[in-house]
Amino acid sequence: MKKGDILTLDVIDMGINGEGIAKSDGIPVFLPYAVDGEKVKAKIVHCKKDMAFGEVLEIVNSSPHRVKPFCIHFKKCGGCDVQHLEYPYQLEVKKQNVLKTLKKIAGISVDIQNVFHLNEWAYRNKLSLPFGKKGDRVVVGFYGKSSHDVVPLKYCPLHGEWLKSLIKIVCDYANEFKISVYDEKTKKGLLRHLVARMIDSLSVTVVINGKSLPKAEVLYERLKAQFGEVALYISENTKNTNVIMGDTVSLIFGKEQKQSLGAFSAAVSPLSFLQVNLEVMQMLYDKAAESIEGDRVLELYSGVGLLTAQIASRLPSAKITAVEIVPSATRGADNLMRDLGFSDRVKNVCADAGKFVEAQKGKLPFDCTLLDPPRKGCDRAVLEEVKNSGIKKIVYISCNPATLARDIKILSDSYTVESVNLFDMFPQTCHIETLAVLYIK
């Protein structure tokens, strides 16, 4: 097998990125947008010694799980991976991929109790879109495949109708006042990204390569006329970086509104992490709270305290120590706990999670540890210290099955997996949220 070969292949499995997997002479061939059970004609586009990658030229025999993608941008936009799969089969593929990952990396076989899900469309409350140019017109959209050329976007079914109105208002404003767009090559131009969140009200952040946004009052008035209450921010990002937001945001018009987050309402900064699917988020936090044992809870990687507050709301007797390394996040968490009346039950600590646990010298006065790390998973030092602590139970929320499995393996000589539940926070994509509960041996 070599690059350029055209082969007829039987798809025998699904990969973690939603691709089909076939084999040729015993070598796995990864085929984006192919489906398990199909026979396809494919062109080999890249070969390695132990694997190959191809593109589907023709579907010879189609899977009954294949459906016509809803969005015209599918395959061009990187936002969705599996729109070509019927939704129940998407859930099954995700479940099987988690099971295979846990088996391969952690060496364990588990029963997944539930795959919680709700709406498969119009579930996202947040977007980040780059500005670009099409001819002489300003557009927002997504980056084309393997490029930083912006493909214009007018609508996205994962967000709903509010996005269509927002894009039109912002682009009309930018074109009317001839506002320049940032050019990655020359490092000149003003407009970089449009970031927005819609829950009860709209929050809009324009990321700029500069210090001010011309005619921002006009943009604000037009947004307000369409959406009612609006908070308009700018974020200065003058660095040569792929990071979207600058280090700070400034509210220039409107006021920061409290948003309904299920168990409570709170103002959410544009810099704060918040799950993009609030309905499934509630299911996740309900299950996490139900899984916590005892009243003394240690939460690591606690951020600005949104998960802390969700757990405190659900468990009125819980005493929570929440550890976060970023000082501004800890200050934000302190303010949130004060506003919600939880300050007497929640102690926020600004510290490195591993060093905090190590300082307790194996005598942590907690019944349960709550872990909600970033995609890269937990630092090994954190896991080693938790193992030495004697804490009976670990409740681990993960957005990355591979790093979850790696961390479970590290913990496995002291803890056993009690339960695993999945939460489809991201329909039409290959991503899944996992809640694993571990108990001390």
pLDDT tens across 58-117, in order? 999 999 999 999 999 999 887 899 999 999 999 999 999 999 999 999 999 999 999 999
**CATH code of the domain made up of 90-120+275-440:** 3.40.50.150
pLDDT(362) > 80:
no
Euclidean distance between CA atoms 418 and 405, whole angstroms? 14
| Helix (H) and strand (E) counts in the chain | 9, 22
Q: What is the pLDDT of residue 146?
A: 67
- Give the tens place of pLDDT for each residue, 229-259: 999 999 999 999 989 999 999 999 999 989 9
**CATH code of the domain made up of 126-267:** 2.40.50.1070
Q: What is the pLDDT of residue 343?
A: 97
**In the chain, what percentage of residues exceed pLDDT 70?**
99
Catalytic residue among 156, 171, 378, 399: 399
Superfamily of domain covering 1-65? Nucleic acid-binding proteins (2.40.50.140)
Whether 138 and 179 have beta carbons less than 8 Å apart is answered as yes
Q: What is the pLDDT of residue 143?
A: 85
| 378 included as an active-site residue | no
Is there a shared CATH topology between the 1-65 domain and the 126-267 domain? Answer: yes
Burial class (CB in 10 A: 0-12, 13-18, 19+), 128: middle
* Residue ranges per structural domain of the chain: 1-65, 90-120+275-440, 126-267
Q: What is the pLDDT of residue 389?
A: 85
Euclidean distance between CA atoms 404 and 298, whole angstroms? 19
Whether 186 and 209 have beta carbons less than 8 Å apart is answered as no
pTM attached to this predicted model = 0.94
Distance in Å from the first CA to the final CA of the chain: 49
Strands annotated E in 135-227: 137-143, 150-152, 191-198, 202-208
Category of 160 on φ-ψ map: left (φ > 0), alpha (ψ -120 to 50) or beta:
left
Beta bridge partners of 74: 77
Beta bridge partners of 296: 319
